[in-house]
Structure 1
Amino acid sequence: MKKEINLFEFPFNLGLTKKEHEIEPGVKKLPDWFRKFGFHEKIAPKNIFRLVSPEYTMNFDKETGVKNPDQIIEYAKKQSELILKNSNNNTFNIILGGDCSILIGTAVALKQMGNFGLFYLDGHTDYIPPKLSPSGGVAGMDLAIVSGLGHEKLTNINNQKPYFLEENIFCIGNAETDDEEYVEQIINSKIHYFDLYQLRKNGFRKTSEDFINLINEKNLDGFFIHFDVDVLNDNIMPCVDSRMEDGIDYDNLKEILQPLIHNEKCFGIEITILDPDYDPNGEYTQPFIENLIKIINNKD
């Protein structure tokens, strides 16, 4: 990694609906969990920034059709300010969540910096309007929000709508393809969509290279990677809130991420949804961190 690394910790969980056995979703523990297993030490960032999360609630808002919109919007604004204040062309930014709703704050910041693309690597599309969400959790519709689908309060923060143009987004890795109404939403959008089957068919590295070609052809200012760990196969990453059997392995992940992370136009990457409560001994977290560090450091 030639650029200096900034590490942002956004331990936010208000985009998720807690399960019956939970006091609150454990994803907010991810930054401290990574530190425990040496991620911070091995990455050796120049700076570490942290934005404390508000207390967990599950307040459903009829106007927006989602839970906790006011807290999510306020946090997103603070996120965007922190990112804008502490990033430039010479930094690579690693963002540790939290749930997927932390993408909104980064998206607002990037929109103010220029015209950016988004590489959305996730086991779900997260591209649905509130009316199709049984839970009302923003973490399940963050891709829709950052591309302008949803209530204006969330999609038009600081009058920046849309934060990403749909035609500048690749959404890849969705393994939840049996809900036709859910999948139809993204198929009918302008997003470049590769479900898990299409991703394998197109090729992992080739899909990333196709995305980079798009960024270059459109002369965009850069791009950002969203990485929800539930895109990984359940055998290697079961500690997520919405498990699925199929998914990619670490060799596939390396093929996908290396061309992206080491491209000069890559603004950074966010890691979301890994829940330490489901991995009490770190048996899944430790190999994940080892593989991610190898990819970031460009090691075999």
Structure 2
Amino acid sequence: MKRDINIFEFPLNLGLKKKDHETEPGVKKLPEWLRKFDFHRAINPNNIFRLEAPEYSMELDQESGVLNAEVIIKYAKEQADFIIKNHQENTFNIMLGGDCSILIGTAIALKKLGNFGLFYLDGHTDYIPAHLSQSAAAAGMDLAIITGLGHEKLTHIDGLNPYFSEENIYCVGNAETDDKEYVEQILNSNIEYFDLDKLRKNGFGKTAEDFLTMINSKSLDGFFIHLDVDVLNDQLMPAVDSRMEDGIDYENLREILQPLINSPLCFGIEITVLDPDYDENGTYTQALVKNLIQIIK
């Protein structure tokens, strides 16, 4: 990485529905957990910025059908302003969640900064409207929200719908393909969709290069990477909210991310959903940190 690096910490967990045995989802501890295993030290960023998140709740917003919608909207606005205020030219930005709903604030910021693409690397598509969601949790709908699918109070913040154009998005790595209604949502969109099987057939490096070709052909201002660690094989990363057996390995992750991160058009990457409560000894986190450092640095 030849560019300077900044780290942004967004420890939001309001986008997840807590499980019966939980007091609240543990993903809010992700930044401190990565710091414990020397991620920050190894990255050696110019700056570390942090925006504290509201306390956890389980309030269903009747208007949108989404848990904690009002507070998520408020945080997204604050997050967008925070990013715009603190980001610097020619700097690579690492956003540490929290859950996937932190993408909403980043998406608003990028919409205000220009016309950006999105590489969405996730074990799920997160592209469904609220009425199809079993959890009503924003982290399971964030790709839908940032492209304008959903209630306008979430999709049209500051009058900016859509925050990303579907035509400028690759959704990559979904292993949850059994639910036809779930998959049909994204198949009927204009998003370039690679489920896990199609990704393997197309090739990890080639998929990244195809995305970069699209970004350049459209003369976009840049692009952002979303990385939900549940895209990794369950044996490598079981410390997530929604586990699935299949997934990619670290060699695959390196092959797909390095061309993207090395591009000068890459605004940054967000890392979400690792829950320290499910990795008490840090075994899985240490492997993740080791590989992310090799990929980013």
For 2:70 and 2:6, how far apart are their aligned partners in 1? 28
Q: Please state how far the C-alpha of 1:61 moved relative to its aligned partner.
A: 1.0
Q: Please state how far the C-alpha of 1:217 moved relative to its aligned partner.
A: 0.1
1:194 matched residue in structure 2: 194
Q: Please state how far the C-alpha of 1:89 moved relative to its aligned partner.
A: 2.8
For 2:228 and 2:123, how far apart are their aligned partners in 1? 7
Q: What 5-or-longer segments of structure 1 have no aligned partner?
A: none
2:66 paired with 1:66:
yes
For 1:157 and 1:48, how far apart are their aligned partners in 2? 27
2:211 matched residue in structure 1: 211
For 2:240 and 2:34, how far apart are their aligned partners in 1? 15
Residue 208 of structure 1 aligns to a residue whose secondary structure is helix
1:130 matched residue in structure 2: 130
Superposed, 1:2-13 pairs within 5 Å as 2-13=2-13
Residue 219 of structure 2 aligns to a residue whose secondary structure is coil
For 1:5 and 1:75, how far apart are their aligned partners in 2? 23
For 1:294 and 1:78, how far apart are their aligned partners in 2? 32
For 1:205 and 1:24, how far apart are their aligned partners in 2? 37
1:121-143 per-residue CA deviation (whole Å, 9 max, x = no partner) reads 00000000000001100000000
TM-score (norm 1): 0.98
Q: What 5-or-longer segments of structure 2 have no aligned partner?
A: none
For 2:122 and 2:54, how far apart are their aligned partners in 1? 25
For 1:91 and 1:64, how far apart are their aligned partners in 2? 36
Q: Please state how far the C-alpha of 1:90 moved relative to its aligned partner.
A: 1.2
Q: Please state how far the C-alpha of 1:105 moved relative to its aligned partner.
A: 0.2
Paired residues, number: 297
Residue 264 of structure 2 aligns to a residue whose secondary structure is coil
Share of identical aligned residues, percent? Answer: 71
Superposed, 1:21-36 pairs within 5 Å as 21-36=21-36
The answer on whether the counterparts of 2:111 and 2:163 sit within 8 Å (CA) in structure 1 is yes
Aligned-residue Cα RMSD (Å) equals: 0.5
2:117 paired with 1:117:
yes
Superposed, 1:222-233 pairs within 5 Å as 222-233=222-233
AA matched with 1:143: L
1:52-105 per-residue CA deviation (whole Å, 9 max, x = no partner) reads 110100000110010001110010011101110111331100000000000000
2:103 matched residue in structure 1: 103
For 1:221 and 1:151, how far apart are their aligned partners in 2? 28
The answer on whether the counterparts of 2:17 and 2:137 sit within 8 Å (CA) in structure 1 is yes
1:237 matched residue in structure 2: 237
For 1:3 and 1:255, how far apart are their aligned partners in 2? 20
Residue 220 of structure 2 aligns to a residue whose secondary structure is coil
| Worse-superposed segment, 50-59 or 82-91 | 82-91
Q: Please state how far the C-alpha of 1:45 moved relative to its aligned partner.
A: 0.4
For 1:84 and 1:156, how far apart are their aligned partners in 2? 18
The answer on whether the counterparts of 2:116 and 2:168 sit within 8 Å (CA) in structure 1 is yes
2:294 paired with 1:294:
yes
TM-score (norm 2): 0.99
Superposed, 1:42-57 pairs within 5 Å as 42-57=42-57
Residue 283 of structure 2 aligns to a residue whose secondary structure is coil
AA matched with 1:202: N
The answer on whether the counterparts of 2:61 and 2:70 sit within 8 Å (CA) in structure 1 is no
1:248 matched residue in structure 2: 248
AA matched with 1:111: K
2:269 matched residue in structure 1: 269
